[in-house]
Structure 1
Amino acid sequence: MKVYTKTGDAGQTSLLSKERVYKDSARVQAYGTVDEANAAMGLAKSLTEKDWAKEIIHKIQGELIFLNADLATAEVTNHSNSRISNTHIESLEKLIDSLEERRIPQPYFVTPGSTAAGAALDLARTITRRAERCVVALKREEQVFAPVPLYLNRLSDLLFVLARCVEQEELLVNITKKVQGILEPSAFNNNAKLSIPVLTKSRQLLDAARNKALEMGIAMVIAIVDNNGTLVVQERMDNSLLASVALALDKAYTAVALRMPTAQAAALAAPGQELYGINTTNSRLVVFGGGLPIYDQGILFGGIGVSGGSVAQDILVANAGLAAF
């Protein structure tokens, strides 16, 4: 059988009942738009490396073929005869709930395009919304199986959540690679020797930071780690917050691990920035100010972390400690 049949040259096509209708009819517009959404989902499936996502997409693509068969059926005498049922809709809802549990909440409007697969899923989502609008228009003129518009509505919701989960996982993989690159020790740092005793200098830094905190009248916790992120000295001032003990140490660790001030890491970890989500890859990474890396003539000495005041106050005390170097 040839691909071109010439039967549609006059601008008409056949429904499942063999009834001939014009290609721009509301019914053909509806199932044609669903077919477009299916193609966009195929693009997303080819772009993602996540097997679990490919399985979800492939299953739905099969269901869309049945849904289009329902849309190509003009005579709806019994809604129980539809190929898409409430069971399919319930399955989508359960899938949405499970994906919502695994995705990172995003309390802002999403701009598509963070990853290729996520962008393709967002494209499929918007086409599915258009298909739903086409079906709503069709229902005002002709009969449509009841589950069809409900399925499309839930599908668009699913595609939104699926896009977020796929792009977040891909972003975390990219971030992990970047962090691993940052954490790999350089040959220079491995071979060079620090010009001063670590413990002696760490105590000097801690004393300077404590004096600044006393001058400001704020009870703080100050931690100094070596260039491996291991604690060297830590002091908890009277009446400082218990939570600050862990926070000060983790700020110092983060400054060494990322080789940058934690305030800079905070800016890079903001939504849409290069290191967005980095704090979810390692529970010790703290992405707000108060941690600074310490260098001795270009060699990473360690890090200082301060917690107990506002972010600005923590940074001020950390800088006072760093100035003693």
Structure 2
Amino acid sequence: MKVYTKTGDEGKTSLLSKERVFKDSVRVHAYGTVDEANAAMGLAKSLTDKEWAVDIIHGIQKELISLNADLATDGSVTDSNQYRITPGHVERLENIIDKLEQQRIPQRYFVTPGETSASAALDLARTIVRRAERCIVRLRRTETVHTPVALYLNRLSDLLFVLARCVEQEDLIAKVTRAVMQVLKEREQFDGGTTDMLDRAKRMIEAAEKKAIEIGVPMVIAVVDAGGNLVAQERMDNALLASVSIALNKAYTAVALKMSTDQAAAVSQPGQMLYGLNTTDGCRMVVFGGGFPLWENGVLVGGIGVSGGSVDEDMTVAKAGLAAF
């Protein structure tokens, strides 16, 4: 069957009863406007990635085809059972509205359409449905229109408003969530934080302790994060009590200066540019070997400090821990 029939070339079309009417009749204008709303809803459906919204829209689109069939049925039909749209369809729309309203954040201001592409298309469909409703009000002055049809369109415009707001709301939440996650990610990179820092610190301490046992020197091993805050610390049996704070301060110094403590020692000797460094920051700066910064992909993520033996022994044990990072 050809798409073009030429039967409407004189400006007339057929209702379901085969009655020929002019294309600008109020009845034809009414179901043509509903068809326009259906197309706008199709646009909204294509613009959203929310399956729940797609399901609602698609179900309504199918019902609008039946509704248009009722509109294309003239008032000579007396048996209401011959109509396709029933009070049950209207009730279904009301139930959907009630469910959506439970999810929607109340708005105490006039809505300006266009927050998202999908919600804008739904608002467009809503205004077209309102126009279709006005056509039906005009039609009912002179002809019969099945009552549930008018009620359906009235509820549909309300549903499309609420649906647009819920789609908008979900998109806004997703947008804010993405922004927050990006900020957290950037903050994590800036701070050098890693989600598995404690596990990695434990592995470093284990490796360092193994080396300390191997050389026969009880040590204190400390690991801090990029802010110099303690992540984990271990004092081996018989390790010097003083080494508890020294190890922690070595790790802190490595982070604070972004260099190993043996490098800090070289530049803080008399006559060097950082002479007296060890007296700053509440005397937390340690300027002898045993502390190393922890770098990951060029980002400072923490530090390790070891104390308990000679400088060379502390550095050897710290490097063993560093190798396990």
TM-score, structure 1 as length reference? 0.58
What are structure 2's unaligned runs of at least 5 residues? 194-224, 231-299, 301-325
What is the aligned partner in structure 1 of residue 43 from structure 2?
43
> 1:172 and 1:19, CA in 2 relative to 1: closer, same or farther beyond 3 A?
same
What are structure 1's unaligned runs of at least 5 residues? 198-298, 300-325
What is the aligned partner in structure 1 of residue 153 from structure 2?
152
> 1:122 and 1:195, CA in 2 relative to 1: closer, same or farther beyond 3 A?
same
Tell me if structure 2 keeps the 8 A contact 1:76–1:143. Answer: no
Tell me if structure 2 keeps the 8 A contact 1:70–1:83. Answer: yes
Mapping for residues 306-325 of structure 1, pairs under 5 Å? none
What is the aligned partner in structure 2 of residue 97 from structure 1?
98
Mapping for residues 103-142 of structure 1, pairs under 5 Å? 103-142=104-143
Tell me if structure 2 keeps the 8 A contact 1:47–1:117. Answer: yes
What is the aligned partner in structure 2 of residue 187 from structure 1?
189
| Aligned equivalents of 1:179, 1:37: Cα separation in 2 | 37
| Aligned equivalents of 1:149, 1:115: Cα separation in 2 | 29
SS of residue in 2 equivalent to 1:21: strand
| Aligned equivalents of 1:28, 1:190: Cα separation in 2 | 67
Percent identity over the alignment? 67
Shift of 1:107: 1.2
Mapping for residues 245-324 of structure 1, pairs under 5 Å? none
Shift of 1:81: 2.5
What is the aligned partner in structure 2 of residue 296 from structure 1?
none
Q: What's the CA shift string for 1:126-172, capped at 9, x where partnerless?
A: 00000000011001111111111100000000000111111110111
Q: What's the CA shift string for 1:34-84, capped at 9, x where partnerless?
A: 000000000000001000110000000010000000000012322342110
Tell me if structure 1 keeps the 8 A contact 2:191–2:227. Answer: no
Shift of 1:195: 8.5
What is the aligned partner in structure 2 of residue 177 from structure 1?
178
Mapping for residues 222-241 of structure 1, pairs under 5 Å? none
Q: What's the CA shift string for 1:164-213, capped at 9, x where partnerless?
A: 1111101111110000001113534228955999xxxxxxxxxxxxxxxx
Q: Does 1:79 align with 2:80?
A: yes
Letter in 1 for 2:164: A
Shift of 1:104: 1.0
| Aligned equivalents of 1:83, 1:143: Cα separation in 2 | 15
What is the aligned partner in structure 2 of residue 68 from structure 1?
68
Runs of 4+ in 1 over 2 A off after TM superposition: 78-81, 185-189, 191-197
> 1:188 and 1:158, CA in 2 relative to 1: closer, same or farther beyond 3 A?
closer
Q: Does 1:58 align with 2:62?
A: no
| Aligned equivalents of 1:96, 1:189: Cα separation in 2 | 46
> 1:10 and 1:53, CA in 2 relative to 1: closer, same or farther beyond 3 A?
same
Query: What is the number of equivalent residue pairs in this alignment?
Result: 198
What is the aligned partner in structure 2 of residue 163 from structure 1?
164
Tell me if structure 1 keeps the 8 A contact 2:118–2:167. Answer: yes
| Aligned equivalents of 1:167, 1:99: Cα separation in 2 | 12
Letter in 1 for 2:117: A
Q: Which has the larger radius of gyration?
A: 2
Tell me if structure 2 keeps the 8 A contact 1:132–1:153. Answer: yes
What is the aligned partner in structure 1 of residue 305 from structure 2?
none
| Aligned equivalents of 2:80, 2:173: Cα separation in 1 | 45
Tell me if structure 2 keeps the 8 A contact 1:76–1:145. Answer: no
> 1:51 and 1:19, CA in 2 relative to 1: closer, same or farther beyond 3 A?
same
SS of residue in 2 equivalent to 1:13: strand
| Aligned equivalents of 1:195, 1:102: Cα separation in 2 | 44
What is the aligned partner in structure 1 of residue 18 from structure 2?
18
